[in-house]
Amino acid sequence: QKEVEQNSGPLSVPEGAIASLNCTYSDRVSQSFFWYRQYSGKSPELIMSIYSNGDKEDGRFTAQLNKASQYVSLLIRDSQPSDSATYLCAPTFYNQGGKLIFGQGTELSVKP
């Protein structure tokens, strides 16, 4: 089992819809969770971080964390074509030197 798993997609949603991106992780003591967005040919950029169970909202983005289920998700409301990118889930675990362990990424395509 991979440490971090995401649906590779592509996930296609119409403009204005809600895009739901999911991530599960292996049974280790998790510390923090990050969602990065990566446009084709560009570097990853941080869009959300979440550290405790529950929801965290930032503009059109909502991160949801459930440590008991080893699950973290990212919801994008009112999806725009400019949201089309690969979304990378990256938790960190205790005693791992702070390294990000990336999932394989979910490619999102928002159709006008």
Partner 1 sequence: DTAVSQTPKYLVTQMGNDKSIKCEQNLGHDTMYWYKQDSKKFLKIMFSYNNKELIINETVPNRFSPKSPDKAHLNLHINSLELGDSAVYFCASSPEGQGAKNIQYFGAGTRLSVL
Query: Footprint of partner 1 on this chain (CB under 8 A)?
Result: 31-32, 34, 38, 42-46, 49, 51, 86, 88, 92, 97-102, 104-105
Within the chain, how many helices (H) and strands (E) appear? 0, 10
User: Based on CB atoms, which residue is closest to partner 1, 13 or 101?
Assistant: 101
15, 20, 38: which is closest to 105 by C-alpha? Answer: 38
Closest CB 71 distance from partner 1, rounded Å: 18
Which CB atom, from 19 or from 103, has the smaller least distance to partner 1? 103
DSSP state at residue 59:
T
Question: Cβ of residue 88: shortest distance to partner 1, in angstroms?
Answer: 7
CA distance linking residue 2 with residue 51, whole number of Å: 21
**Nearest to residue 65, comparing CAs of 93, 47, 91, 36?**
91
| Minimum separation from the CB atom of position 103 to partner 1 (A) | 9
Nearer to partner 1, 84 or 86 (CB): 86
